[in-house]
Amino acid sequence: MANKVVYAVYEDPDVLKDAARKLVTAGVKVRDVFSPFPVHGLDPIIGIKRTRLGIVSFMFGLMGTSLALLGMWYFMVHDWPMDIGGKPSFSLYQNLPAFIPVTFEFTVLCAAHGMAITYLVRNKTLPGMPARNPDPRSTDDKFVLELRSEDNADIDGVIGVLRETPVFEINERQY
């Protein structure tokens, strides 16, 4: 038997959320949801874990702080110390007040860009990538629930449950 994928199209985010809750309670596994904007409260229902991108950003930020301090210590204190305007560069500790602005800026630079690049790569959104949303209306005004026969053995029974929810339309495809 060929694998079957079912797309249940809804018109309202709250209706979709209720339908998803109903399906999950009935033991159905929801593969994914495609929506034109974030549907708050949906993630715990369909079992999506919290993203760790915040931690990624923090790590990149720490890297930026360290690199900035290391660099400025090397340039200003170690490699070629200069006495500019009666302000000699003796040690990192003594020069630290003057190094704070650049340390801050470089921390933000690394945290923001490190996170943004990780985000794009993890989402597989990069220039020239093909769009993989099953229904072009899902970026406009429709909310699409994706169910697969490989996750749900009794896919036809699932369609029965779907019909009991205020669904706008149901599309089935073989793949």
Partner 1 sequence: MHSESAIRTPLILGHKTYHDITHDIVAPIENKAPRGWYVLVTIAALIAAYGVGCILYLISKGVGVWGLNKTVDWAWDITNFVWWVGIGHAGTLISAVLLLFRQRWRMAINRSAEAMTIFAVIMAATFPGIHMGRIWMAYWVLPLPNQFGSLWVNFNSPLLWDVFAISTYFSVSLVFWYIGLIPDFATIRDRLTKPVQKRIYGILSFGWTGNAKAWTRFEEVSLVLAGLATPLVFSVHSVVSFDFATSVIPGWHTTIFPPYFVSGAVFSGFAMVQTLALVMRKVMHLESYITVKHIEYMNIVIIVTGSIVGVAYITELFISWYSGVEYESYAFINRATGPYWWAYWSMMTCNVISPQVFWIKKLRTNLTFTFFMSLVVNTGMWFERFVIIVTSLHRDYLPSSWTMFHPTWVDVGTFIGTLGIFFTLYLLFARFFPVVALNELKSILKVSGESYKQEAQHHHH
Residues that bind partner 1 (CB under 8 A): 13-14, 32-43, 46, 48, 50-51, 53-54, 57, 71-72, 75-76, 79-80, 82, 84-85, 87, 89, 95, 98-99, 101-102, 104-106, 108-109, 111-113, 115-116, 119-120, 122-133, 136-141
CA–CA gap between residue 25 and residue 149 (Å, rounded)? 18
Using the minimum distance from each CB to partner 1, give the nearer residue, 9 or 34.
Answer: 34
Q: How far is the CB of 107 from partner 1 (least distance, A)?
A: 9
Using the minimum distance from each CB to partner 1, give the nearer residue, 132 or 174.
Answer: 132
Place of tokens 């089935």: 172
Using the minimum distance from each CB to partner 1, give the nearer residue, 104 or 164.
Answer: 104
Q: What is the dihedral of CA 83, 84, 89, 95, to 10 degrees?
A: 160
Q: How far is the CB of 49 from partner 1 (least distance, A)?
A: 9
Using the minimum distance from each CB to partner 1, give the nearer residue, 2 or 132.
Answer: 132
Q: How far is CA 36 from CA 77, 88, 139, in A?
A: 53, 58, 4
CA–CA gap between residue 78 and residue 89 (Å, rounded)? 9
Q: How far is the CB of 6 from partner 1 (least distance, A)?
A: 16
Q: How far is the CB of 1 from partner 1 (least distance, A)?
A: 26
- Listed residue (39, 4, 31, 28) closest to 143, CA to CA: 39
Quick one: tokens of 43? 């993630």
